[in-house]
């Protein structure tokens, strides 16, 4: 029996002041969302490497009446759920207007706030912005993390849409493991562009020699910009999609060809 391949999962540490949760890309200090177990069952030796921690922000200004609410991250919904004063801080018409979500994981998180009928757009901030514009929205509340990508607000802003942006959480570097002391992995999995950024600035193995998997196309784009060995991309932010993408890449390699990963200009 051969040596188990090593896979590093660059996950997040616990969020401060946030309730425990279980949806795909938000985990606690000891993840219980199925990622580690599914890789162990597939024969991998799994190492959880916490790269980020999150701090909720609760002192933001109340949001005035708007036409829609927009979230692009499950973390933002978690931060809103943890905010005791959200009824005062939310737009006064928050439960009577459309909510827009980037992807199904964010939608699931929004629904935990008691919001139903969320407009779900998957793929990119560009697609989400285009849908908001298409629906004739004139003013949005955008609950975001810091840092965050600017594409959404730039696109809707150019279309004349007013944005009431509120920072409801911050992501902080939390790389607590010396990667030079560890055996080089066969695979490494990244779950966010911010995680890629943190790891790229820390001493570690030559990532061009490690097979890299990304949880989605935005994270894949961040990996590609580092000129690392991007080999697999999960279409959905869940353990099943991720292991399927990695196993597909392994099958392609065993057949004698290399997987081809194409990133579109929409990222």
User: Would residue 260 count as lying in a domain?
Assistant: no
Percent of the chain at pLDDT exceeding 90: 59
Q: Which residues contact 150 (CB under 8 A, 6 or more apart)?
A: none
According to DSSP, the residues that pair with 53 across neighbouring strands are 172
User: Would residue 265 count as lying in a domain?
Assistant: no
Summarize pLDDT for 78-90 with one digit per residue, the tens.
999 999 888 899 9
Same domain (yes/no): 117, 10: no
Split at pLDDT 50, 70, 90, the class of 29 is very low
- How much is the pLDDT for 255? 62
Split at pLDDT 50, 70, 90, the class of 233 is very high
- How much is the pLDDT for 11? 83
Same domain (yes/no): 184, 81: no
Name the token pair of 126.
């560009």
Summarize pLDDT for 128-161 with one digit per residue, the tens.
999 999 999 999 999 999 988 899 999 999 999 9
User: Would residue 263 count as lying in a domain?
Assistant: no
Q: Which residue has the tokens 């991720």?
A: 242
**Domain boundary pick from 108, 139, 171:** 171
Nearest to 192 by CA among 65, 105, 80: 105
What number of other Cβ atoms are within 10 A of residue 87's Cβ? 9
Same domain (yes/no): 156, 71: yes
Q: Which residue has the tokens 């407009």?
A: 119
Is residue 230 within 8 A of residue 208, CB to CB? The reply is no
Distances (CA, A) of 23 to 4, 20, 77, 238, 267: 28, 10, 12, 9, 24
CATH of the domain at 189: 3.40.50.10090
Mean pLDDT of 107-118: 92
Residue 31 pLDDT exceeds 70: no
Q: 202: helix, coil or strand?
A: coil
User: Would residue 149 count as lying in a domain?
Assistant: yes
Q: Are strands 52-56 and 162-173 parallel, antiparallel or unpaired?
A: antiparallel
**Domain boundary pick from 151, 171, 191:** 171
User: Would residue 266 count as lying in a domain?
Assistant: no
Residue 28 pLDDT exceeds 70: no
Is residue 219 within 8 A of residue 193, CB to CB? The reply is yes
Which long-range contacts link 115-123 to residues 24+ away (Cβ below 8 Å)? 123/217, 123/266
Same domain (yes/no): 69, 126: yes
User: Would residue 81 count as lying in a domain?
Assistant: yes
Same domain (yes/no): 40, 76: no
User: Can you tell me the distance from the alpha carbon of 218 to that of 220, in angstroms, rounded to the nearest whole number?
Assistant: 5
Same domain (yes/no): 131, 193: no
Same domain (yes/no): 15, 45: yes
Same domain (yes/no): 181, 238: yes
Q: How many domains does the chain have?
A: 2
Split at pLDDT 50, 70, 90, the class of 77 is very high
Same domain (yes/no): 12, 39: yes
Is residue 230 within 8 A of residue 224, CB to CB? The reply is yes
**Domain boundary pick from 171, 195, 216:** 171
Same domain (yes/no): 167, 59: yes
Split at pLDDT 50, 70, 90, the class of 33 is low
Same domain (yes/no): 45, 135: no
Residues in the chain: 267
Same domain (yes/no): 112, 135: yes
Find the distance separating the first CA and the last CA of the chain, reported in whole Å. 42
The whole domain housing 78 covers: 55-171
- How much is the pLDDT for 258? 52
Mean pLDDT of 180-194: 92
Residue 259 pLDDT exceeds 70: no
- How much is the pLDDT for 265? 32
Residue 41 pLDDT exceeds 60: yes
User: Can you tell me the distance from the alpha carbon of 18 to that of 145, in angstroms, rounded to the nearest whole number?
Assistant: 14
């Amino acid at each position: 029996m051969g040596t188990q391949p090593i896979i590093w999962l660059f996950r997040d540490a616990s969020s401060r002041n946030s309730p425990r949760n279980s949806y795909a890309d938000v985990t606690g200090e000891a993840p219980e969302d199925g990622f580690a177990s599914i890789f162990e069952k597939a024969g991998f030796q799994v190492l959880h490497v916490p790269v980020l921690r999150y701090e909720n922000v609760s002192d933001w200004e109340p949001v005035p009446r708007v036409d829609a609410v927009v979230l692009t991250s499950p973390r933002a919904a978690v931060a809103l759920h943890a905010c005791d004063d959200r009824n005062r801080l939310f737009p006064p018409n928050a439960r009577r207007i459309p909510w827009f979500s980037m992807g199904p994981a964010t939608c699931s998180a929004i629904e935990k706030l008691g919001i139903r009928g969320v407009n779900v757009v998957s793929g990119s901030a560009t697609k989400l912005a285009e849908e908001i514009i298409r629906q004739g929205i004139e003013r949005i509340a955008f609950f975001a993390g810091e840092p965050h990508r600017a594409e959404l607000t730039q696109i809707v802003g150019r279309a004349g849409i007013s944005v009431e942006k509120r920072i409801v959480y911050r992501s902080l570097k939390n790389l607590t493991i010396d990667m030079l002391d560890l055996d080089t992995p066969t695979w490494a999995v990244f779950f966010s562009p911010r995680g890629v950024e943190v790891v790229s600035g820390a001493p570690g193995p030559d990532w061009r020699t490690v097979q890299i998997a990304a949880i989605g196309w935005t994270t894949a784009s961040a990996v590609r910009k580092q000129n690392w060995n991007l080999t697999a991309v999960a279409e959905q932010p869940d353990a099943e999609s991720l292991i399927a993408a990695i196993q597909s890449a392994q099958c392609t390699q065993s057949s004698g060809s290399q997987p081809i990963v194409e990133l579109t200009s929409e990222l």
